Amino acid sequence: MRELIGNAHCVLFDFDGPICRLFAARPAESVARRLRELAAAIATELGVPLPRLLPEELRASPDPHHVLLGIARRRPGRGVVTRLEAALTREEIFAAGTARPTPYAAALMAALTARGRQVAVVTNNSPLAVEHYLRQHQLSGFVGGRIHGRTADFSRLKPHPDAVLRALASTRTAADAALMIGDAPSDLGAARAAGVAFLGFAPDEEAAGALVAAGAERVVRSLEEVMTALVAPTPGEK
pLDDT of residue 238: 46
Q: What is the pLDDT of residue 42?
A: 95
Number of neighbours of residue 155 by Cβ within 10 angstroms: 10
Q: Is the residue at 237 inside a domain? A: no
pLDDT at 77: 87
Instruction: Give the pLDDT band (50/70/90) at residue 17.
Output: very high
Task: Work out the average pLDDT over 41-63.
Answer: 92
- The verdict on residue 238 lying in a domain is no
Helix runs in the chain, H state only: 2-6, 28-46, 50-53, 64-72, 78-96, 105-114, 127-136, 140-143, 162-171, 185-194, 205-214, 224-231
Mean of pLDDT values over 25-43: 95
> The dihedral of CA 182, 225, 197, 12: what is its sign?
positive
Give the pairing of strands 219-220 and 178-182.
unpaired
Pair (108, 55) in one structural domain: no
Domain count, the chain: 2
Do 193 and 115 belong to one domain?
yes
- Residue whose C-alpha is closest to residue 95's, from 70, 130, 147: 130
Q: Are residues 217 and 144 in the same domain?
A: yes
**Residue where one domain finishes, among candidates 37, 62, 96:** 96
Asked whether residue 105 falls in the same domain as residue 214, the answer is yes
Q: What H or E segment, with its residue span, contains residue 178? A: strand 178-182
* Percent of the chain with pLDDT strictly greater than 90: 89
- Whole-number percent of the chain with pLDDT over 70: 97
Q: Are 42 and 78 in contact (CB under 8 A)?
A: no
Whether the pLDDT of residue 95 is over 60: the answer is yes
Interstrand relation of 10-13 and 178-182 (parallel, antiparallel or unpaired): parallel
Of the three residues 66, 96, 126, the one that is the final residue of a domain is 96
Q: What is the pLDDT of residue 78?
A: 83
Q: Examine residue 66 and state whether it is found in any structural domain, yes or no.
A: yes
Same domain, 144 and 219: yes
Residues 56 and 159 in one domain: no
Between CA 212 and CA 185 the distance in angstroms is 9
pLDDT digits (tens, 9 = 90+) for 163-183: 999 999 999 999 999 999 999
Same domain membership, residue 127 and residue 69? no
State whether 105 and 216 are in the same domain. yes
Q: Which 3-state string (H, E, C) describes 202-215?
A: CCCHHHHHHHHHHC
The residue out of 96, 113, 135 marking a domain boundary is 96
Segment 188-230, tens digit of pLDDT: 999 999 999 999 999 999 999 999 999 999 999 999 999 999 9
Domain that holds residue 110: 2-21+101-231
Same domain, 90 and 181: no
Whether 63 contacts 95, CB under 8 Å: no
pTM of the entire predicted model: 0.94
Residues 90 and 197 in one domain: no
**Residue 172: closest CA among 150, 140, 144, 200:** 144
Residue 236 has pLDDT above 60, yes or no: no
